[in-house]
């Protein structure tokens, strides 16, 4: 499928990479670029050769937020009719998505990174939700996901005070998995993705699904949900292979079934 605002590649076996590529606007997220990203993520999700997905931007900007120029002349009814901050398509991707981010990770850019399952950041990454500076509030999950990730105190400071977190602050606060030099963060994300892509894929999908449910469910309902996914894993050929390989002291040969 031809894309105009993103690039896609397979940088390692089993790894699909989608790159925001709108440098003149610091990868600001308009309707077209978000649609292309969701199309690419869904295509990788359907592709049996892919086990893990990376979403990245440039070293200068993962994304500087939703496109303010697109929103400037849009009223509430226009926003309701436009799907560019309805990112539910991304939530339905079953394979893990790693955000590999650098430079500006602002507004909708921060919200898109937080919709990924892991975040690898370059030392230059700056995370923020500066919507208050343009008279609005975060609208693609920032008030909810940032608060869950870093707690109320830091979330309030970021959103009310329009204060950006450095990569190390974001890691300390629990938003980011790890921080690497700008020269290597993408390679490190690819290594992590390769490792995940080698895992039995049904178990990978069931873990992603259950961990994400932990954000939404009370503990007892979450434990019930986990148990159902656990039992489902016992219905896979990879469960038999994994346990047999352990007993026979050999490496498992995953069938992803």
For 141-145, the CB contacts below 8 A with 24+ separation are 141/87, 141/111, 141/114, 141/115, 142/107, 142/110, 142/111, 142/114, 145/111, 145/114, 145/115
Cβ-based nearer residue to ligand CAA, 140 or 189: 140
By CB under 6 A, residue 40 contacts ligand CAA: no
CA 159 vs. chain centroid, Å, equals 20
Residue 65 is a binding residue for ligand CAA (CB under 6 A)? yes
The residue from 15, 18, 66, 158 that contacts ligand CAA (CB under 6 A) is 66
Angle formed at CA 209 by CA 204 and CA 212, multiple of 5 degrees = 120
The residue written with tokens 């500076």 in the block is 133
218 Cβ neighbours under 8 A, 6+ residues apart: none
Closest CA to 113 of 132, 83, 86, 140: 140
Q: Which stretch binds ligand CAA (CB under 6 A): 20-28, 41-49, 75-83, 147-155?
A: 20-28
Find the shortest distance in angstroms from Cβ 45 to ligand CAA.
23
Give min distance, CB of 139 to ligand CAA, in A: 4
Report the alpha-carbon distance of residue 52 to residue 196 in Å, rounded: 6
φ/ψ of 48, rounded to 5, equals -65, -20
Query: What residues from 82 to 121 belong to the interface with ligand CAA (CB under 6 A)?
Result: 85, 104, 106-108, 111
Q: How many residues bind ligand CAA (CB under 6 A)?
A: 23
CA 128/CA 193 separation, integer angstroms:
25
Stretch 125-144: interaction string toward ligand CAA, x if CB under 6 A: -----xx-xx---xxx-x--
| Ramachandran bin of 93, using left for φ above 0, alpha for ψ from -120 to 50, beta for the remaining angles | beta
Closest CB 234 distance from ligand CAA, rounded Å: 41
Among 28, 55, 101, 154, binds ligand CAA (CB under 6 A): 28
Based on CB atoms, which residue is closest to ligand CAA, 63 or 199?
Answer: 63
Could you give the residue numbers annotated as active site?
A: 66, 108, 111, 131
Residue closer to ligand CAA by CB (options 71, 199) is 71
Q: What residues make contact with ligand CAA under the rule CB under 6 A?
A: 25-26, 28, 64-69, 85, 104, 106-108, 111, 130-131, 133-134, 138-140, 142
């Amino acid at each position: 499928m031809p894309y105009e605002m993103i690039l896609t590649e397979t940088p390692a076996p089993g790894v699909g990479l989608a790159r925001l590529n709108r440098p003149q606007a610091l990868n600001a997220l308009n309707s077209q670029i978000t649609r292309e990203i969701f199309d690419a993520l869904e295509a990788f999700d359907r592709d049996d050769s892919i086990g893990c997905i990376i979403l990245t931007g440039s070293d200068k900007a993962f994304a500087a937020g939703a496109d303010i120029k697109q929103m400037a002349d849009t009223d509430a009814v226009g926003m309701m009719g436009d799907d560019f901050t309805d990112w539910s398509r991304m939530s339905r991707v079953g394979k893990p998505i790693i955000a590999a981010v650098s430079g500006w990770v602002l507004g909708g850019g921060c919200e898109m990174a937080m919709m990924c399952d892991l975040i690898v950041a370059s030392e230059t990454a700056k995370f923020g939700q500066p919507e208050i500076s343009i008279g609005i509030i975060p609208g693609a999950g920032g008030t909810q996901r940032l608060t869950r990730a870093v707690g109320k105190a830091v979330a309030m400071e970021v959103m009310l005070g329009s204060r950006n977190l450095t990569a190390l602050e974001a890691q300390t606060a629990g938003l980011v998995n790890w921080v690497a030099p700008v020269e290597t963060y993408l390679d490190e994300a690819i290594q992590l993705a390769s490792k995940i892509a080698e895992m039995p894929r049904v178990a990978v999908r069931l873990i992603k699904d259950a961990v994400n449910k932990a954000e939404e469910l009370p503990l007892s309902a979450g434990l019930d949900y986990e148990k159902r996914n656990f039992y489902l894993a016992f219905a896979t050929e990879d469960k038999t292979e994994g346990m047999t390989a352990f007993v026979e002291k050999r490496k498992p040969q995953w069938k992803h079934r």
